[in-house]
């Protein structure tokens, strides 16, 4: 098989993996949302369809660089990904995960802040903020330019920072789960975690909810470090108002349905 064909196949395979991973993860958390807060996504079907289409487009943008690098790792020894767990001291395993998360968070914070400049916002970031309120399906709902800024991070980091393949899997899992749960519209983590001292430094849904509500604050991804350092941390949001609005939407939808049925009955 020619090298070009092999690289293309690797890119296609990775696109499928990222797309299916998105559908399974977002689908699972959307089901959890339906069980926990049945009315939360009431009336949001058109928005959810948009979120899914943008996210699947992003899956291709994420999949191509990841697929190329994965091919090079397997066939050419590119990257610093290692498979022998003893190639580095064991204490390096958690450290490498933290280094990746911190590097990703740093990149995300500054590119995200840049995308809130008016011109960049209109072009690259308005798509993500068109979700009001975002749902579990919005995790990868990005304009292609924004998706590209996110897609290059891990494929570049694997050339720079050594990481065990299992630890890399953990980084990708954290990335996927946090991307979904931060947009889900409610807190899945126990209160002591996001309200207490841990939550003072870790980002969960309440922190990112305030970003989607107020825009010019809370730009971080995993940690509140850069927001706090740069004075852009505006504390935690709360879901009371958005949950009230969703109940109102559900009630209006039910009344609309009754009215439709009434009209149909009269017409019949
Ligand atoms: Zn967001
Ligand atoms: Zn934003």
- Return the structure tokens found at 108: 């995300």
15 compared with 197, residue with greater pLDDT: 15
Å from CA of 73 to ligand 1 middle: 31
pLDDT at position 82 = 97
Helix/strand/coil (H/E/C) assignment for every residue in the chain = CCHHHHHHHHHHHHHHHHHHHHHHHHHHHHHHHHHHCCCCCCCCHHHHHHHHHHHHHHHHHHHHHHHHHHHHHHHHCCCCEECCHHHCCCCHHHHHHHHHHHHHHHHHHHHHHHCCCHHHHHHHHHHHHCCCCCCHHHHHCCCHHHHHHHHCHHHHHHHHCCEEHHHHHHHHHHHHHHHHHCCCCCCCCCHHHHHCCCCCCECCHHHHHHHHHHCCCCCCCCECHHHHHCCCCCCCCCCHHHHHHHHHHHHHHHHHHHHHHHHHHHHC
* Gap from CA of 125 to ligand 1 centroid (Å): 10
- pLDDT attached to residue 194: 84
Residue 164 pLDDT > 90:
yes
Average pLDDT over residues 84-106: 97
What confidence tier does 244 reach under pLDDT thresholds 50, 70, 90?
confident
**Residue 133, preceding bond cis, omega within 30 degrees?**
yes
Ligand approaching nearest to the C-alpha of 114: 2
* Reported confidence tier of residue 259, pLDDT bands at 50, 70, 90: very low
248: containing domain? 3-267
Count of structural domains within the chain: 1
Q: Rounded CA gap, 191 and 194, in Å? A: 6
- 233 CA to middle of ligand 2, Å? 13
Confidence of residue 258 (pLDDT cuts 50, 70, 90): low
Task: Determine the distance separating the centroid of ligand 1 and the alpha carbon of 211, expressed in angstroms.
Answer: 7
Measured from the alpha carbon of residue 232, the closest ligand is: 2
pLDDT for 151 equals 96
- pLDDT tens digits along 1-57: 799 999 999 999 999 999 999 999 999 999 999 999 988 998 899 999 999 999 999
Note the ligand closest to the C-alpha atom of 218. 2
Distance 255 CA to ligand 1 centre (A): 31
**In 3D, which of 142, 168, 170 has the Cα closest to residue 155?**
168
**Distance from Cα 99 to the centre of ligand 1, integer Å:** 22
Contacts of 155 (CB under 8 A, 6+ apart): 65, 66, 68, 69
φ, ψ (nearest 5 deg) of residue 223: -120, 155
200-206: average pLDDT: 93
The alpha carbon of 157 and the centre of ligand 2 are apart by a number of angstroms equal to: 23
**Per-residue confidence band for 198, with pLDDT thresholds at 50, 70 and 90:** confident
Say how many Å lie between the CA of residue 216 and the centre of ligand 2: 8
């Amino acid at each position: 098989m020619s090298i070009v064909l092999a690289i293309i196949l690797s890119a296609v395979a990775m696109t499928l993996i990222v797309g299916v991973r998105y559908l399974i993860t977002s689908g699972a958390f959307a089901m959890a949302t339906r069980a926990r807060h049945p009315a939360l996504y009431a009336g949001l079907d058109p928005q959810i369809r948009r979120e899914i289409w943008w996210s699947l487009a992003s899956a291709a943008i994420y999949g191509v660089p990841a697929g190329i690098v994965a091919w090079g790792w397997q066939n050419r020894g590119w990257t610093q990904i290692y498979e022998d767990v003893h190639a580095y001291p064991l204490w390096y395993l958690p450290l490498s995960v933290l280094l990746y998360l911190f590097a990703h968070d740093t990149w995300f914070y500054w590119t995200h802040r840049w995308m809130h400049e008016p011109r960049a916002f209109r072009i690259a970031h308005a798509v993500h903020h068109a979700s009001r309120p975002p749902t579990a399906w919005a995790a990868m709902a990005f304009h292609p330019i924004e998706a590209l800024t996110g897609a290059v991070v891990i494929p570049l980091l694997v050339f720079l920072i050594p990481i065990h393949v299992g630890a890399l899997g953990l980084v990708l899992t954290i990335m996927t789960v946090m991307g979904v749960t931060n947009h889900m519209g409610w807190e899945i983590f126990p209160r002591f975690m996001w309200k207490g001292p841990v939550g003072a430094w870790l980002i969960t849904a309440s922190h990112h909810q305030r970003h989607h509500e107020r825009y010019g604050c809370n730009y971080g991804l995993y940690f509140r470090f850069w927001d706090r350092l740069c004075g852009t941390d505006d504390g935690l949001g709360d879901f009371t108002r958005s949950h009230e609005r969703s109940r109102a939407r559900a009630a209006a939808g039910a009344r609309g349905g009754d009215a439709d049925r009434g009209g149909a009955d009269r017409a019949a």
